[in-house]
Amino acid sequence: MAIWMDMTNSLHTWKGGVVGIVRAELEIAKNMKRCDPDVRFFKYDGEAFVEVGERELDWLWDCESVGDAYLTAMGRKQTAGLGVQSGEQSIEELRKAYPGLDNAYNFSTSRLHRAVWGLQLYANTLPSGIRGFTKALIDLIAAPLKKLSLWRAHRKAAKEVQMTEQKQPADSFSHPFRPDDLIFSCGWMYSGKEEGFEKVKQVMPSVFITYLIYDIILIRNNTKQFYDPIGSADFQRYFHWASMHCDALLYGGKTAMEDSQDYQKEKHLPIPPGYPIYF
């Protein structure tokens, strides 16, 4: 089993200077390497997951400032603010460039997850006398459908692998992971990685995917009004996807975990095992 850390946000998606989410990813990567020299790194380039070799990140391991080292390695300059003038992409540009979260939502397994979730929400509106029976019936019907969906996904993936071997297209999807590997991602949405993870899970269900959720202020009832509605809607989809597909979730502290799990309960989402971490 190998432990992999996702570096997509800082090494592929982000085109500007050093901001909080980038700095956090770099600091975590540096310290993970210090704690475990065998940790491996990767990025999603929009078509495939690609391993990032240890020597490619030599600039990070012994640096005094991850921000300065990042700017030097990427050949960039730090800017005073965010936005088009500072060289960073807008939300609209990122959504167009990396539609992977939208594509992930179109996978059959994702559609089935959302259908069952929607039916369970409807069942909660029924009178208490039939609510429990209806929810049990939904689970009973959904169980074989989930198995069928997984079987179809495996069969489709096997055919795609066979066709890939025959045609060997230059732009085919690929990844470096092996069964039972653990994947850790602390990046952000708009990178397209969710589409890639759906494909990995289709052919290799034993891969263990963990996301770090820093907080949910973009969708929490008493804070979401302070943020851009488009960004909040996108984060809602991102968090719903993580809740439905990740094997575990890490959180930026106990409060973030409690807020997230309260939200998951309120929306009747799956609640993966959660663990608070402290920076």
Task: State the pLDDT at residue 112.
Answer: 58
Task: State the pLDDT at residue 163.
Answer: 59
**C-alpha distance from residue 256 to each of 27, 116, 163 (Å):** 20, 26, 44
Please check whether residue 249 is in contact with residue 273, taking contact to mean a CB–CB distance below 8 angstroms.
yes
Q: Distance between CA 73 and CA 62 in Å, rounded?
A: 13
pLDDT tens, position by position, 243-256: 999 999 999 999 99
Please check whether residue 192 is in contact with residue 100, taking contact to mean a CB–CB distance below 8 angstroms.
yes
Residue 90 has pLDDT above 80, yes or no: no
Task: State the pLDDT at residue 76.
Answer: 87
Q: What is the mean pLDDT of the chain?
A: 82
Q: Tell me, what amino acid is at 42?
A: F
Residue 168 has pLDDT above 60, yes or no: no
Beta sheet of 40-44, edge-to-edge order: 49-52, 40-44, 3-6, 182-185, 208-213, 248-251, 274-276
Given pLDDT bands bounded at 50, 70 and 90, which one contains residue 132?
Answer: confident
Task: State the pLDDT at residue 242.
Answer: 95
Residue 84 has pLDDT above 50, yes or no: no
DSSP state letter for 125: T
Please check whether residue 10 is in contact with residue 27, taking contact to mean a CB–CB distance below 8 angstroms.
no
pLDDT above 70 covers what percent of the chain? 73
Given pLDDT bands bounded at 50, 70 and 90, which one contains residue 83?
Answer: very low
Residue 160 has pLDDT above 60, yes or no: no
Residue 210 has pLDDT above 50, yes or no: yes
Task: State the pLDDT at residue 86.
Answer: 43
pLDDT above 90 covers what percent of the chain? 56
* C-alpha closest to that of 203 among 159, 236, 262: 159
Residue 105 has pLDDT above 70, yes or no: no
Given pLDDT bands bounded at 50, 70 and 90, which one contains residue 172?
Answer: confident
Q: Distance between CA 7 and CA 184 in Å, rounded?
A: 10
Q: CA torsion angle for 191, 197, 199, 203 (degrees, to 10)?
A: 160
Please check whether residue 235 is in contact with residue 218, taking contact to mean a CB–CB distance below 8 angstroms.
yes
Q: Distance between CA 87 and CA 78 in Å, rounded?
A: 10
Task: State the pLDDT at residue 16.
Answer: 86
Given pLDDT bands bounded at 50, 70 and 90, which one contains residue 89?
Answer: low
Task: State the pLDDT at residue 159.
Answer: 61
Residue 25 has pLDDT above 80, yes or no: yes
Name the phi and psi angles at 212, rounded to 5.
-100, 120
Given pLDDT bands bounded at 50, 70 and 90, which one contains residue 225?
Answer: very high
